[in-house]
Structure 1
Amino acid sequence: MHVSPDPITTPEQAARERGTLLDFIARGLVCTMASAWGDGHGEPSEEALTKARPVADDYLAAYEEWLVQRAATNAAAGPHEGSA
């Protein structure tokens, strides 16, 4: 299944989306570590999420950088045969 989100058109929307992604990534990191340590799958504490957020930010920044580089590479390559 392919989902196409509504385009982000303002800096405020981009900031909200980035914050949401950071929260999801941080929550996933905390839950993964808790599972690995055998702490169960309870709701992560605010302290754990606060500590995980900088790591999540690093992952998201690297992903954003990759996306920008990929877009530049695709733009430099020009249109592909068969694309409409």
Structure 2
Amino acid sequence: MHVSPDPITTREQAAQERENLLDLLARGLYCTLATAGGAGHDEPGEEALTSGRAVADDYLSAYEEWLVKLSADNAGKAS
């Protein structure tokens, strides 16, 4: 994954970064569960990644909602 200090300025960039983050979170969930279950760190299968991405999407959506609320609250305080 490429990390850039440049700000995200388009919806396409934001969508790509979200996809990258979902993939990273899904792989992290797989590794965490595999380690907890005593399995090795093999490459996750497509089914595992799909399940992990669904969970990661829920968490990321909640985080995005929180960020929007925080931004709105901060904008209201600045007025």
* TM-score of the superposed pair, with normalisation by structure 1: 0.83
Per-residue Cα deviation, 1:50-81 (whole angstroms, up to 9, x for no partner): 111111100100010010011111111118xx
Per-residue Cα deviation, 1:17-44 (whole angstroms, up to 9, x for no partner): 0100100111111111101101122221
4+ runs of 1 displaced by more than 4 Å?
Answer: none
SS at 1:58 equivalent: helix
Return the alpha-carbon distance in structure 1 between the equivalents of residues 37 and 4 of structure 2.
36
Structure 1 spans left out of the alignment, 5+ residues = 80-84
The equivalent of 2:16 in structure 1 is: 16
How do residues 2-81 of structure 1 correspond to structure 2 at under 5 angstroms? 5-78=5-78
Q: 1 or 2, which has the higher helix percentage? A: 2
Once superposed, what is the RMSD of the aligned Cα atoms? 1.8
Return the alpha-carbon distance in structure 2 between the equivalents of residues 67 and 19 of structure 1.
18
* TM-score of the superposed pair, with normalisation by structure 2: 0.87
Return the alpha-carbon distance in structure 2 between the equivalents of residues 60 and 5 of structure 1.
21
Return the alpha-carbon distance in structure 2 between the equivalents of residues 73 and 11 of structure 1.
23
Identity of matched residues, %: 68
Higher CA-based Rg: 1
